[in-house]
């Protein structure tokens, strides 16, 4: 089907596109604050699985797209996704060996740091949030990580030749 | 031996990636500072919005197809009935417009007498909503019109009920509206019954505006209509904004707790209207 060298970029790009769609897909307002940080989850996975292909730079560019999509300050999500990618990249060898709940824990810490940063940025620019609205998604994201991981691993094994 | 070399090589590239990450995080912070203070990044944002347009289009597609199917599958009888209803409404609207134009002439004559500058009538263009972001800390709607339709930052957006919000970012094909219910939005309004001017602040909830700057003894009661005061030169003067739902005097606090419900059907309509005033609006800055 696809030439070998095209398979990885195409798969990664499509998975990120799906994450972007899930980020803005309309939800009833009570479910809005339960929405996981889809893009962060997908970025975390790709840096963990293929750090040579998907590095901090790509995570940063993805973040700029999120900023344009959600109307946030340009650079806010670029920064937070770069932090996620850095953490995943720094410890990817260890994290791959760890059990899932430990990956979830690391991811939760990274997302918590990001939530605090986004909370501050929101405060400075006048988009004050109730703290819970920022921190519930962190818990949800960490809880669904094992399933996201399993799904994306199947996608990778199916579409990207090792 | 071979393993050791690979290991060292990998280590070096890992360090380079960490360095790249640090530089990019710095760049993001600088970017945020620039974006917050200046208009310099509008072109970059506009280009990025063009890149993400397909995503918004895809999100909107199921709803659009559903509405189209509902239209296609409507029966002839239902359509005829609806047509008759709309014709009735059109006739009533024509009558109202005819009366309006007489009133408008009279109004401009009176304004001339008062030596005041009249508000020039504007033109409205209907656009459809592409996507809605109703997180509790941001009420943002993306519409299907951008530079291609002459949209500009700060432009007011209205619907048949009242003021919806204002344009904050313009892309080539789409633009983003900050709703009047966004916590960062402040709308200059006037109580229609008394003419008192004040400011309505968004709360992040789609059906609640807050009026925090009214003293406890203000003449205001539930049911009072709030109209755009035109101060700040952004929203068309006199256009309906909200209706007061509750007034609670706060003992021990100089200001009363006043809440209002927006009159625009925010979050329920699929179409909104862009308001083009016939004289250029000052742009930049938030009201």
In chain B, which residues have their Cβ closer than 8 Å to the Cβ of A16?
none
Q: Give the residue-averaged pLDDT of B214-219.
A: 86
Residue B133: strand pairing partners:
B140
What pLDDT score does A1 carry?
52
Average pLDDT over residues B259-269: 82
Going by pLDDT thresholds of 50, 70 and 90, the confidence category of residue B278 is: low
φ, ψ (nearest 5 deg) of residue B182: -65, 140
Q: What is the mean pLDDT of residues B251-262?
A: 88
Q: Average of pLDDT values for B277-286?
A: 51
Q: Is the pLDDT of residue B5 over 70?
A: no
pLDDT of residue B1 exceeding 50, the answer is no
CB atoms under 10 Å from CB of B81, counted, come to 11
Q: How far is residue A113's CA from residue A111's CA, in Å, rounded to a whole number?
A: 5
Chain A residues lying within 8 Å of B136, measured CB to CB:
32-33, 129-130, 133
Does B285 or A106 have the greater pLDDT score? A106
Nearest by Cα to A119 from A136, A133, A98, A100? A133
pLDDT value of position B126: 83
pLDDT at B188 over 60: yes
Residues of A in contact with B25 (CB under 8 A): 79, 82-83, 86
The average confidence (pLDDT) of chain B is: 81
List chain A residues with CB under 8 Å of B178. Answer: 71
Choose, out of A75, A128, A129, A140, the residue to mutate when testing the contact with B (most B CBs < 10 Å). A75
pLDDT band at B218 (very low <50, low <70, confident <90, very high): confident
A131 to chain B: closest CA residue: B137
Name which of B20, B29, B49 is nearest A68 (Cβ-Cβ): B49
Residue A2 clears pLDDT 70, i.e. is over it: no
CA neighbor of B122 nearest in space, from B263, B35, B234: B234
Given a contact cutoff of 8 angstroms between Cβ atoms, the answer to whether A75 and B29 are in contact is: yes
CB-based contact B239:B232 (threshold 8 Å)? no
Q: pLDDT tens-digit profile of A100-158?
A: 888 888 889 999 998 888 888 888 876 666 777 778 889 999 999 999 999 999 999 88
Q: Is it the case that residue A45 has pLDDT exceeding 90?
A: yes
- The pLDDT confidence band at residue B2, using thresholds 50, 70 and 90, is very low
Q: Is B79 helix (H, G, I), strand (E, B) or coil?
A: helix
Answer yes or no: is pLDDT of B6 > 60: no
pLDDT at B268: 67
Tell me whether residues B31 and A122 touch, CB distance under 8 A.
Answer: no
Please state the rounded mean pLDDT for residues B193-214: 89
Share of chain B above pLDDT 90, in %: 15
Residue range B219-234: average pLDDT?
Answer: 88
Three-class DSSP category at B178: strand
pLDDT of residue B195: 87
Q: Which of B49, B56, B136 sits opposite A133 (nearest CB)?
A: B136
Residue range B10-22: mean pLDDT, rounded: 73
Say if the Cβ atoms of B137 and A129 lie within 8 Å: yes
Residues 5-24 of A with CB under 8 A from B: 17, 20-21, 24
Q: Is B237 helix (H, G, I), strand (E, B) or coil?
A: coil
Helix A76-90 × helix A56-70 angle, to 10°: 150
Q: How far apart are CA A136 and CA A115, in angstroms?
A: 10
Tell me the shortest Cα–Cα distance from B241 to chain A, in angstroms.
22
Contact partners, residue B177, CB within 8 Å, separation at least 6: B140, B141, B142, B143, B157, B164, B165, B166, B167, B168, B272
Name which of A79-83, B35-39, B120-124 the model is least confident about.
B120-124
pLDDT tens for B79-125 read: 888 899 999 999 888 888 888 888 888 887 777 766 654 454 677 88
ipTM for the predicted complex comes to: 0.80
Q: What percent of chain A has pLDDT over 70?
A: 94
SS3 B269: coil
Q: What is the DSSP string of chain A?
A: ---HHHHHHHHHHHHHHHHHHHHHS---HHHHTT---HHHHHHHHHHHH-TTTS-HHHHHHHHHHHHHHHTPPTTHHHHHHHHHHHHHHHTHHHHHHS-HHHHHHHHHHHHHHHHHHHHHHHHHHT----HHHHHHHHHHHHHHHHHHHHHHHHHHHHHS--
């Amino acid at each position: 089907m696809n030439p070998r060298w095209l398979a990885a970029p195409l798969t990664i790009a499509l998975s990120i596109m799906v994450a972007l769609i899930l980020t803005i897909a309309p939800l009833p307002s009570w479910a809005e604050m339960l929405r996981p940080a889809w893009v962060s989850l997908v970025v975390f996975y790709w840096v963990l699985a293929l750090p040579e292909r998907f590095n901090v730079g790509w995570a940063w560019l993805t973040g700029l797209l999120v900023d344009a999509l959600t109307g946030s300050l340009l650079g806010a999500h670029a920064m937070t996704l770069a932090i996620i990618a850095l953490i995943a990249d720094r410890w990817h060898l260890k994290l791959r060996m760890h059990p899932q709940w430990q990956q979830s824990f690391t991811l939760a810490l990274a997302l918590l740091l990001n939530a605090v940063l986004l909370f501050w940025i929101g405060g400075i620019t006048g988009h004050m949030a109730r703290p819970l609205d920022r921190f519930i998604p962190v818990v949800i994201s960490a809880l669904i990580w094992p399933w996201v991981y399993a799904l994306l691993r199947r996608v990778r094994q199916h579409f990207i030749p090792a | 031996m071979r393993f050791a070399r690979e290991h060292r090589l990998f280590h070096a590239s890992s360090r380079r990636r960490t360095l790249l990450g640090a530089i990019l995080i710095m760049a993001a912070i600088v970017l945020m500072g620039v974006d917050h203070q200046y208009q310099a990044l509008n072109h970059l944002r506009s280009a990025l919005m063009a890149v993400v347009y397909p995503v918004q289009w895809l999100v909107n597609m199921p709803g659009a197809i559903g509405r189209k199917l509902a239209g296609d599958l409507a029966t002839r009888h239902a359509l005829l009935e609806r047509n008759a209803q709309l014709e009735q409404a059109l006739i009533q609207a024509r009558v109202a417009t005819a009366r309006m134009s007489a009133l408008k002439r009279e109004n401009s004559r009176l304004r001339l007498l008062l030596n005041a500058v009249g508000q020039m009538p504007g033109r409205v263009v209907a656009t459809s909503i592409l996507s809605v972001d109703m997180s509790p800390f941001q009420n943002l709607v993306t519409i299907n019109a951008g530079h291609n339709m002459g949209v500009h930052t700060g432009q007011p957006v209205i619907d048949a009920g009242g003021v919806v919000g204002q344009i904050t970012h313009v892309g080539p094909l789409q633009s983003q509206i900050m709703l009047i219910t966004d916590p960062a939005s402040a709308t200059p309004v006037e109580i229609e019954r008394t003419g008192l001017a004040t400011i309505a602040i968004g709360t992040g909830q789609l059906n609640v505006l807050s009026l925090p700057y009214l003293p406890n003894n203000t003449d205001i009661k539930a049911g009072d209509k709030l109209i755009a005061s035109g101060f700040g030169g952004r929203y068309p003067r006199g256009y309906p904004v909200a209706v007061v739902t509750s007034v609670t005097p706060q003992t021990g606090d100089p200001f009363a707790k006043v809440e209002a419900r927006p009159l625009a059907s925010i979050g329920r309509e699929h179409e909104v209207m862009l308001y083009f005033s016939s004289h250029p609006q000052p742009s930049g800055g938030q009201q």
